[in-house]
């Protein structure tokens, strides 16, 4: 897959392109269905397949940075899309196109610069200034400018609509199991480890500590069964999201006890997969009570 930032000349569009456009936040099962159709259509028609997305989520450009917390940053989005056999992942600078009318956007960018012959979109796809364009208009523009439109209906998992909005809400509620069902894999965060209070080590449960950024999506406060990846190796782990109320903490952090690992991970970048919620975060009356609960949490994780 060829990843292109902003430069239309680097897209092999001479023979025409098939384009799927969207934010693709999290690349969930609905996105995968859309991209599967994109690949089928592009191969059947000898077209160059393009996933067209933006360098920043439109909501965060229009309403301010960190307004919307993302399931996947651009690096992770690129990693996920690289497994889809696309020809090109194209990142558009949203600020350069946000004021184009729907017709201007389609005519000047998708058709004019990328030579689009087929558009593959979801039912609720919107584009152009103020998101005024919809599938109905896209089909009308297709007749006018010579391209076909394929639409994917909404995708459901156990009667739950598969959408980035729903997945984001599930994660914020702590329901990481259902979020994983919609994503097709566990939700994960990737962060460098920082030095903490080292209280966990004193209790016999050393932790790798991470400080979330203001705009980072993390699960609701609580203790989660997790997997931690260190240099590509997966370890069972327990991850606490919260402020350590037992010891009077007031800084939100993610603390992970990596079961069976005693190496040094300070300043290393770890991947934490959230599997299911074990319990809510609690304030204990003593460190002995906390230690006993940590032992129970580990028993649950290993069971």
- The fold for domain 2-157 equals Rossmann fold (3.40.50)
For Cα atoms 9, 50, 128, give the angle at the middle one, nearest 5 degrees.
Answer: 85
Q: Helices (DSSP H) in 146-224: which residue ranges? A: 164-173, 176-183, 199-202
Chain centroid, CA 143 distance in Å: 34
| CATH of segment(s) 186-302 | 2.40.30.30
Classify residue 232 as left (phi > 0), alpha (psi -120 to 50) or beta.
left
Q: Do domains 2-157 and 186-302 have the same CATH topology?
A: no
Domain positions in the chain:
2-157, 186-302
Burial of residue 255 (number of CB atoms within 10 Å: 0-12, 13-18, 19+): buried
231 exposure class (CB count in 10 Å sphere: 0-12, 13-18, 19+): exposed
Provide the percentage of residues in the chain whose pLDDT is more than 70.
96
Q: For each of the chain's 303 residues, which pLDDT tens digit applies?
A: 999 999 999 999 999 999 999 999 999 999 999 999 999 999 999 999 999 999 999 999 999 988 999 999 999 999 999 989 999 999 999 999 999 999 999 999 999 999 999 999 999 999 999 999 999 999 999 999 999 999 999 999 999 999 999 999 999 999 999 999 999 999 999 999 997 666 667 677 889 999 988 888 999 999 999 999 998 899 999 999 998 776 666 678 999 999 999 888 888 899 999 999 999 998 888 888 999 999 999 999 998
Tokens of 214: 């203001």
């Amino acid at each position: 897959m060829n990843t292109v930032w902003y430069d239309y000349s680097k897209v092999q569009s001479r023979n025409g392109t098939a384009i799927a456009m969207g934010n693709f936040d999290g690349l969930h099962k609905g996105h995968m269905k859309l991209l599967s159709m994109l690949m089928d259509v592009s191969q059947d028609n000898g077209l160059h397949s393009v996933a067209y997305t933006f360098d920043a989520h439109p909501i965060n450009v229009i309403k301010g940075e960190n307004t919307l917390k993302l399931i996947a940053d651009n690096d992770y989005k690129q990693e996920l899309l690289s497994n889809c056999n696309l020809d090109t992942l194209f990142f558009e600078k949203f600020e350069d196109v946000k004021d184009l009318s729907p017709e201007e956007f389609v005519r000047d960018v998708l058709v004019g610069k990328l030579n689009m012959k087929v558009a593959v979109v979801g039912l609720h796809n919107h584009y152009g200034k103020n998101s005024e364009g919809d599938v109905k208009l896209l089909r009308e523009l297709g007749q006018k400018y010579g391209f076909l439109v394929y639409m994917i209906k909404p995708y459901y998992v156990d009667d739950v609509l598969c959408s980035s909005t729903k997945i984001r809400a599930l994660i914020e509620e702590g329901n990481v199991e259902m979020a994983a069902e919609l994503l097709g894999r566990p939700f994960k965060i990737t962060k460098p480890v920082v030095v903490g209070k080292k209280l966990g080590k004193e209790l016999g449960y050393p932790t790798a500590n991470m400080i979330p950024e203001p705009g980072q999506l993390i699960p609701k406060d609580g203790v989660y069964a997790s997997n931690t990846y260190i240099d590509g190796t997966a370890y069972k782990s327990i991850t606490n999201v919260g402020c350590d109320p037992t010891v009077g903490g007031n800084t939100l952090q993610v603390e992970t006890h990596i079961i069976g690992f005693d190496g040094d991970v300070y300043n290393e970048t770890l991947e934490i997969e959230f599997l299911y919620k074990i319990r809510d975060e609690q304030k204990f009356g003593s460190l002995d009570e906390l230690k006993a609960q940590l032992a129970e949490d580990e028993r649950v994780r290993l069971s």
